[in-house]
Amino acid sequence: MRRFIFLSTLFLTVLCSCHLSAPRQLEKSDSENGLADERAKGFSLQMAGECFKITVNDPWQKSVNTHFTYYLRRAGAKLPENLGDTAIFTIPVRRVVCLSTTHAGFLDALDEWQSIIGISGSKYLNNLHLQQQIQDGKLAEVGNENGLFYEKLVDLKPDVVFAFGVGADVNNQLSKLKDLGIPVVMVGEYLEATPLAKAEWLRFFGAFFDKTSLADSLFQEITNQYHTIKSSVKRDEKRPGVLTGLPFKETWWMAGGASNLARLIQDAGGEYLWGANDSREAFPVSLEEVFIRAAKADFWINCGTANSLDELRQ
């Protein structure tokens, strides 16, 4: 049987459940440990006096030279001068709303799942703690990008709302939240080019909870395990073809060939059927083209909530 290791299993398991008791800083420079091409491009984190300065870059598809800057300070820390209307957060934050369930995975890895008081897309959660919170009425559904429950968000009084955008129209949502006095932060981890770059957003979230050392150690642990398994994949064997996703309104939005999902499949020893595409972003493919090319597929992954071929037919 051809060897095919799905690194996503490792990635999600470590991201959602790994807790280290002795946090440590990254021990080598990027050039020494081979991380230069794996580091996140969507955000930067640095010290600005006594505060953290976070800059988020181009956090939605097709955004160019779009930047958001946030300052994070511990209670009593002195802020830099002349910040104007730059968003400022006191850390650690305690009450958090996530407008993507992917954000919950990062918070769970940091042992901060209990800080989540509101979430979008609660039916897609697979975290048992959060599922129980929903059943107990302790975790609120806040709607989605097509219809946020703004009154609910105001009532929740969050310290921060972690938001995301697919396109520039998210600016309307951001403006509405700002007008209501709701503190919001853009997150664009889904646009990173590699799985490890996406995993490094642990450091982004860690800063908001004043857990930068833990976040660094988690990222290093994930990196080490990822490369260990990646190196075990036999490259001389035939690579199985992989199809991903499901159609939406007669269009199949396929992950770009330069996306972190495509890289994950490649590192795992597979051949992503649209790997020749050079985009990091999703692109539309006709159903006919998918049917023709997918005849070569050995595996079909990320097929939504369907659990069987009968459900897919329906």
Give per-residue pLDDT as tens, 100-136. Answer: 999 999 999 999 999 999 999 998 888 899 999 999 9
Nearest to 270 by CA among 4, 1, 2: 4
pTM of the model: 0.85
Q: What is the mean pLDDT of the segment spanning 11-21?
A: 39
Torsion angle of C-alpha atoms 96, 97, 101, 107, degrees rounded to 10:
-10
> Is the pLDDT reported for residue 8 higher than 50?
no
What pLDDT does 36 receive? 57
What pLDDT does 176 receive? 95
What pLDDT does 35 receive? 54
Compute the residue count for the chain: 314
Across the chain, mean pLDDT equals: 87
β-bridge pairing 87-91 and 147-148: unpaired
> Is the pLDDT reported for residue 27 higher than 60?
no
> Is the pLDDT reported for residue 61 higher than 70?
yes
> Is the pLDDT reported for residue 148 higher than 90?
yes
The more confident residue out of 42 and 10 is 42
Give per-residue pLDDT as tens, 177-203. Answer: 999 999 999 999 999 999 999 999 999
> Is the pLDDT reported for residue 214 higher than 80?
yes
What pLDDT does 146 receive? 76
> Is the pLDDT reported for residue 69 higher than 60?
yes
Q: What is the mean pLDDT of the segment spanning 131-142?
A: 93
Q: What is the mean pLDDT of the segment spanning 252-266?
A: 94
